[in-house]
Structure 1
Amino acid sequence: MALDTLNLLAILGMAVVTYATRVAGLALAGRFDLSPRAQAAFDAIPPAVLIAVIAPSALATGWPETAAAAVTALAATRLPFLAVVAVGVIAVVGLRAVV
């Protein structure tokens, strides 16, 4: 399989733009004094994006995955990250085995 030069340039261009936007965000974040309300809004962005990515697949694949996502969400309110990952994996494997 050969990689076309135009495709390679497009991929490299997208990588540069992605990297630049991330670096610019980190460089500019420390220059602004945010109100507590704005800081809370910025702190809520990563979990909101994660839920937006996970929820469609968790709800569209079947009841074992949906139930495992709910169990994992409940575990996330009490347990550290690594334990939550373990609970999620065990829940989805266990519920798929039941089906």
Structure 2
Amino acid sequence: MEITLLQLLTILGMAAATYSTRALSYLFLRGRGFSPDVKKLFEMMPCCVMVSVVAPSFMTTSIPDLGGLAAALLVAAKKSLILSVAAAVGVDALLMHVL
């Protein structure tokens, strides 16, 4: 399986969108006092971007995609966002190879 230039640019664009939500909020709002609820909201912004990327997987009948989604949900319940993404990609790739 080869990755195309468009796929690579899409992945890099999603990574930039995920990172920029956190970096820009800290850059523009540093030095201000916020309530714990607002701070929690800022920490959850990258997760919101990831949900918008993953949400279409809920509407699929593809076994590898559903397996990756299940892995992401299971890992996200206990571990960090990056580990849930890695688990989803790993399970999806494994199931595509096996099936």
Coarse TM-score class (shorter-chain normalised): 0.5 to 0.7
- Describe how 1:45-84 pairs up with structure 2 within 5 A: 45-56=45-56, 58-61=57-60, 62-79=62-79, 84=84
Gaps of 5+ in 2: 1-21
Alignment CA distance shift 1:36-1:84 (3 Å): closer
Runs (5+) with no aligned partner, structure 1: 1-21
Bigger mean CA offset, 36-45 vs 79-88: 79-88
Aligned pairs for 1:10-89 (under 5 A) are: 25-56=25-56, 58-61=57-60, 62-79=62-79, 84-89=84-89
Matched, 1:92 2:92: yes
| Deviation at residue 27 of structure 1 after TM alignment | 3.3
Query: Matched residues, percent identical?
Result: 25
1:23 Cα deviation (Å)?
7.8
**Greater gyration radius:** 1
Q: CA RMSD in A?
A: 3.0
**Aligned-pair CA distance for 1:59:** 3.1
- TM norm structure 1: 0.55
TM-score (norm 2): 0.55
* 1:44–1:26 distance in 2 versus 1, CA, 3 Å: closer
